[in-house]
A and B are shown apart, each in its own frame.
Chain A
Amino acid sequence: MNSCRVGLDIGSTTIKIVVLDAADQILHKRYERHGADVGATLHRLITEAEQLFDGIEITVSMTGSGALSLSEALSINFIQEVNASELAIRRFSPETDTVIELGGEDAKAIFIYPDKVGYEMNDTCAGGTGAFIDQMASLLDTDADGLDALAKLATKTHGIASRCGVFAKSDIQPMINSSVPQSEIAASIFLAVANQVIGNLMKGKKDRCHHVTLLGGPLAFTSELRHAFRKRLPDAEVVCPENAEFYIALGAALASEKAPSTSLHKILESIEKAPALKVGLPRLKRLFADESERANFRRNHKTKIVHAQVANQEPLFLGIDAGSTTFKAALINEDRQIVWSHYDSNRGNINERIERTKRQLTGYNIVHSVAVGYGEDRIIKSGLANSGEVETVAHLTAAKFLNPKVDFILDIGGQDMKGIWVKDGVVSKVQLNEACSSGCGSFIETYAKPLGLTMDQFDDLACSSTSPVGLGTRCTVFMNSGIKQAQKEGIPLSDIAAGLSYSVVHNALYKVFRVNSAEDLGRNIVVQGGTFLNDSILRAFELEVGATVIRPEIAGLMGAFGAALLAHKRAHNPKLIPKIVSHTEELPNLYETKLNLLVNRHSEDYWPSHDEPLAPHNIIGIPLALNMFENYPFWHAFFSSLGYRVIPSQISDKTTYQKGIDTIFSGMVCYPAKLLHGHIIDLIDRGVKRIWMPLIKWELAEKDQKKHFNCPVVMGYPHAVKQNMPIIKASGATMFTDPLPYDKPRALLKHLIALPFVADHDRWRINRAFKNAQAADRQFKQAMHNAGKTALKYLAEHDVRGIVLAGHPYHIDPEVNHDIPKMLNSLGVAVLTEDSIAHLTENGQLRVSNQWVYHARLYRSARFVAQHANLDLIQLVSFGCGLDAVTSDQVQEILEAAGKIYTQLKIDEMSDSRPARIRARTLLFALRELNAL
């Protein structure tokens, strides 16, 4: 043997080494998890190789995300992993045109052309990676292999949001709770990964892949994941070659040809000599100066709740809090002392917990029992509880028991986080972590587990840190990168652990709750939830807010204890048991009304009958997305009057998003925009050859608006979609996305007349069509005004509360609003739209520049609500809507100035409406209490 080529692939979780001989034969290969200790693992692997290839001249290259600074420190040739993949593919799998490579924390698609390569990599915020699979597996109490084995048994799959682990989790949790077989969940997780990767990385190039090669550890080891990819790419030949997990390392070995020769022994030497890597991350204040300070701290945080023994057959009151991951119960006596309690993980099987609790409590005289949390309905159905309540109210009740003056409660559980602001004993604001779980307990667990730490060990380590590292706030995936960087810089685990504790607190305060300073939280703070049982997190919280807080001894049980207190109250005053609202179906729901006004779903236009052959030249298709929820009546009337048949795309459903997902070019835009892709495909599928979606920069101004823009996405997205959907041209269709001066009727008419498919009509017909269009637009708006009037009358006559669910026109899309209007109806309130009442009041003084049309209605509807006692407002905000970052602050200011409660619901792809329900129920509870004052 004369000389060998060595390739090292240092990934985020593993190290791969291969040794190649001159004939490209693999002489040696190893794949090892480095458990964050890159240096030691590398040393071990090289030592091992050195024994095998002692004294042989080698060339070596390094690749992978962890190799960047390491290669510099060791003066080893570096090659970026995409380039390494390309080299390996061209050598070992030359027929490939597309590579899909999943790693621990990254996902890539590489497009191999004869003359160049193209590539797409996952964003800093994205699921679809090995880490995502591990995270999902831990939800089912297994690992990636276990998930694979489970998925083999599946007979069907379910839709899971694939955009981000957090969203996927919120889809999976209800499945676990409603006992969907684990095998089906497992298979759905793999399908979600395939959807995510293909949706996020293919960007319209799916039709070009014929020979797909799958690379990387997760794909090499997980057959069901490969299967999911085959299912998603039915027209391509999908291959996962032997050594798929080593390809990148192989590419590095090939690339080493250009590097100077050396020996493994020399590399070992340089690893040993490598200077301690420099520290570049910011440091934060240490949690405890020394052990005695911690001991002191522990002494101060023992707010006791009295426990007692059960006397014979005395009346007892039960509270059960069935959370997303835990099952908690508390039993109290007449003196509100805890006589029994229970805290356990529900392991995805809530029925079993219910049965066990029933068995444990037989023989006790339980007078009343209240259930809160995820499992509320099932616990009541099972007979274990008499009534239910929303968990925030239970938390409030428990906190008030400890400190009647409490003004802020922070509850951090496994995946849920709640901040409850209390004013004069009544909830003034509730915030939950709808779109992000990065500050929760399971977040810490996700990091502690792979490092081989229990939560207690983690806590102790964090408390002992002398120089906690600043990891930043925001998404878990960012945190991954921060931790990676810290590990790379050789920062001790204790400092990383303490940094994570700070991150939980920073995330909660600045990301989820958006507070500006500690004063925003009030002076009497009670913290609850299992996560606060960690001293490090509680301490970080105290240091951050600069206040002393109460952590009850039973921090993890407070929901159940509060529920028990409620049971106690209800047993003594049955009037407090919430009434079941009946006849909710006749309550006004203007979201429904508006949708029906917009498109008549029962007319022929909407569902062209099959007997009549479609004449494509006579059809204009309009995608029902974005501003078409505002402008559809206008265009429908205009083209119908000219004799065209106008066909809207079908109202969005679960499949709409999936249909268009392959062509979505930016993961960051809002869900309503992403749906547009599916709507265009729907029209094309139905044979439409002419699609109408002009660029409208200026909308018709609202009252007293100097500027009257559409949002940048509404304006720019249609044309961008057209450019990114080759299927439009391929199907022989055309899509009109030219700009039109919609805000200037005369100019608009002139522009329209110039269009080829309008121009061949008589001038008088065009004029008439235009008049009809304007009338249709007016009528549509007038009809909403009338509906608003009728609804207000109904409220007054029936003494019912109304919620103005304030959003943008496209929020009436049921796939966008996830049936929140119906949910609100079911809670016994009427639902109004912002445009049904906005015209009834003035703009007033605004801090922001009132320059967007849809948003102008928000300000005025907020003002109208502020002036009316029987109305409240909930703002619907699509995730990623930057403009609503502006409007929501302003709407909140208007409402709070009038003493109203501001509630915002963030909505996205995920369909879990639970957080929305919690917020709405809490709001209604607070309103009941406010009115009772």
Chain B
Amino acid sequence: MKSTHTLIAPQMSPIHFRLLEQLFRDIGFKFEIIKKVTPDAINCGLRCINNDMCYPAILTAGSVVEETLRRDADNPDQNYAIIMTQTGGGCRASQYVSAIRLALQKQGRTDIPVVPLAFVPGGDEKWNQLGLKVRDLRHALYAILLGDVMMTYLYQTRPYEVNPGESDGLVENISRQLCDIGFNDMDDDIFMDLVQTISDKFSLVAVHAAPKPKIGIVGEILLKYHPDANNNLVDIIESEDCEAVVTPIIDFFLYCSSGPIFQRKLLARPPWQAILTKFLVDFAEKRKTMINEICGFHWPSIYDLSRKVAADDDSDEIISLANSMGEGWLLPAEIVDLIQHGCPHVIIAQPFACLGNHATGEGTRAPITERYWHSQILSVNYDPGASATNQLNRIKLFAHDAKQYHEKHRATP
């Protein structure tokens, strides 16, 4: 497949996925991430995916199918394959592969392979069909972390920049440089140097000092990071003169991997799974700590996050760590972390028909505001037909609240 097919992958977070695209190219794949989700792609999703599936499924599957078929028609002598994640959890995300296959089947294009990229072995699909090596996994971790560092700096800097466009330009420059360097020789030393470089470059951006009110974003993973899916939520927040706080993507991957650790006792999972995943998680956590030291971030570890929702005395926990379908316990944990770190206003980006989110997102709003009385949590619904005006109106209201809170607390520190 490496030599014969061009792999088409869906977009999730432009900053991160640009690096991941490079990584796969460095491994030797012909690899293309979809750059932009067009209305055509959403229509394609609505036509070929069961409309009762959640918005992320319609958007993701629609965009890869549309892109692949379009490219296929433009370059008939090229072979295309679709690559899609297979999370293996209890939510519908684990059915993306089968949904895309059905969509292609209906178009009479069963010749286009759909390659699952499984996170965990043991599902119905053959595991690791791309033949990825441990080394590649480590490099992927670097890529995601570098993306997280850039993203965090970008959102911390852009609202305050003196020369508009400077931070965006910087991200563009650094991304290009990172892609030029490539991942083939990446190791801890090079990685830490790169983090230091990014940090240095951002520290040179001229900024206004006066702090702005902060608004945190949590939610379903695609909506949280993908500007085409959340109607440019970060831009809206910034245009309301606030700072958007988005937690790093790496935490989602660590949360996904850490199930066996937290559920070993709760749900009697095999100890060997816990030991293995703890090794992986700790490897990543160590790099996160180093980033915190260099950049002065306060990224919590996945263990810290877990303690934000589930107390040792679990009679009064916000959510059980056994609840790990979809965004599960990570979502409320991130809300609590944001609240505890000076960001009491949090938006949950929520797709219609996202089962997990409606139990964990909506369901934990009340207990969290009960515990953190000064906090405000707003859920914003997303859907192919949802009106941007409606979302905008809610976000404006929320920004107004955040500003009032900010003013009051700046006056009386």
* Residues of A that sit less than 8 Å from B by CB: 65, 68, 78-83, 116-119, 121, 123-125, 203-204, 282, 472-475, 478, 481-482, 484-485, 488, 510-511, 514-517, 665-666, 668-669, 695, 697-698, 706-707, 709-713, 715-717, 719-721, 723-724, 737-741, 744, 747-748, 750-751, 846-852, 880-886, 888-889
Contacts and interface: CB of A to CB of B under 8 A. Distances in A.
7 contacts: A124-B381, A124-B387, A481-B389, A516-B107, A716-B325, A886-B99, A889-B50
A80 B90 contact: no
A723 B124 contact: no
B95 A669 contact: no
Nearest to A723: B367
Given A203-B366, A706-B122, A747-B268, A885 B352 contact: no
A499 B299 CA distance: 48
A10 to B, nearest CB: 12
A888 B50 contact: yes
A829 B363 CA distance: 42
A479 B325 CA distance: 32
A715 B384 CA distance: 27
Nearest to B101: A847
A475 B385 contact: yes
A703 to B, nearest CB: 14
Contacts of B386: 124, 478
Chain A to chain B: the 10 pairs with minimum beta-carbon distance, closest first? A720-B363, A747-B268, A481-B387, A739-B322, A474-B385, A885-B52, A709-B90, A741-B268, A716-B359, A666-B362
A716 B267 contact: no
Contact of B364 (A482, A715, A720): A720
B147 interface: no
Contacts of A719: 319-320, 323, 363
A516, A716, A723, A885 pick with most chain B CB within 10 angstroms:
A716
Given A707-B88, A738-B314, A885-B92, A478 B381 contact: no
Contacts of B328: 716
B363 A665 contact: yes
A304 to B, nearest CB: 35
Contacts of A484: 387, 389
A843 to B, nearest CB: 10
B269 to A, nearest CB: 8
Given A716-B363, A738-B314, A849-B125, A882 B397 contact: no
Contacts of B95: 848-849, 886
Given A124-B386, A720-B363, 12 more contacts: A68-B392, A473-B384, A709-B325, A712-B326, A723-B363, A723-B367, A724-B363, A751-B268, A848-B95, A849-B98, A849-B123, A886-B53
Contacts of A123: 381
Contacts of A737: 320
A885 B359 CA distance: 18
B51 interface: yes
Contacts of A880: 353
Contacts of A485: 387-389
A68, A484, A739 pick with most chain B CB within 10 angstroms:
A739
Interface in B380-410: 381, 383-390, 392-394, 396-397, 400-401, 405
Contacts of B314: 738
Contact of A510 (B46, B324, B356, B401): B46
Contacts of A850: 124
Interface residues of B, number: 76
A698 B360 CA distance: 18
A695 B320 CA distance: 9
Interface of B: 39, 46-48, 50-54, 86, 88, 90-92, 94-95, 97-99, 101-102, 106-107, 122-125, 263, 266-268, 314, 318-320, 322-326, 328, 352-356, 358-360, 362-367, 369, 373-374, 376, 381, 383-390, 392-394, 396-397, 400-401, 405
A329 B268 CA distance: 67
A665 B90 contact: no
A668 B358 contact: yes
Contact of A80 (B53, B356, B397): B397
Contacts of B268: 741, 744, 747-748, 750-751
A724 B355 contact: no
A669 B358 contact: yes
A68 B393 contact: yes
Contacts of B46: 473, 510
A719 B310 CA distance: 12
A482 B386 CA distance: 9
B127 to A, nearest CB: 11
Contacts of B405: 116
Contacts of A748: 268
Given A68-B392, A485-B389, A739-B320, A80 B400 contact: yes
A514 B53 CA distance: 12
A488 B390 CA distance: 13
A118 B323 contact: no
Nearest to A883: B92
A130 to B, nearest CB: 16
Contact of B51 (A282, A514, A751, A847): A514
A472 B384 contact: yes
Contacts of A741: 266-268
A116 B354 contact: no
A80 B403 CA distance: 13
A846 to B, nearest CB: 8
Given A665-B366, A697-B267, A478 B383 contact: yes
A734 B123 CA distance: 37
A739 B358 contact: no
Contact of B47 (A516, A707, A738, A750): A516
A723 B368 CA distance: 10
A517 B47 contact: yes
Contacts of B124: 706-707, 846, 849-851
B56 to A, nearest CB: 11
A478 B385 contact: yes
Contact of A282 (B39, B86, B369, B373): B39
A124 B353 CA distance: 13
Nearest to B48: A516
A716 B396 contact: no
A885 B102 CA distance: 12
A824 to B, nearest CB: 24
Nearest to B386: A124
Nearest to B362: A666
A886 B122 contact: no
Given A716-B323, A716-B359, A849-B98, A68 B383 contact: no
A706 B360 contact: no
A510 B47 CA distance: 6
A472 B382 CA distance: 14
Contacts of B360: 716, 720
A851 B96 CA distance: 13
A124, A125, A515, A846 pick with most chain B CB within 10 angstroms:
A124
B385 to A, nearest CB: 4
B376 A851 contact: no
A556 to B, nearest CB: 29
Given A124-B383, A706-B122, A712-B355, A885 B396 contact: no
A484 B314 CA distance: 48
A295 to B, nearest CB: 32
Contacts of A747: 268
A347 B378 CA distance: 43
Given A124-B383, A669-B358, A715 B323 contact: yes
Contacts of A482: 385, 387
B385 A118 contact: no
A80, A488, A510, A751 pick with most chain B CB within 10 angstroms:
A80
A743 B77 CA distance: 50
B91 A68 contact: no
A488 to B, nearest CB: 8
Contacts of B50: 514, 885-886, 888-889
B266 A739 contact: yes
Given A83-B400, A889-B50, A851 B363 contact: no
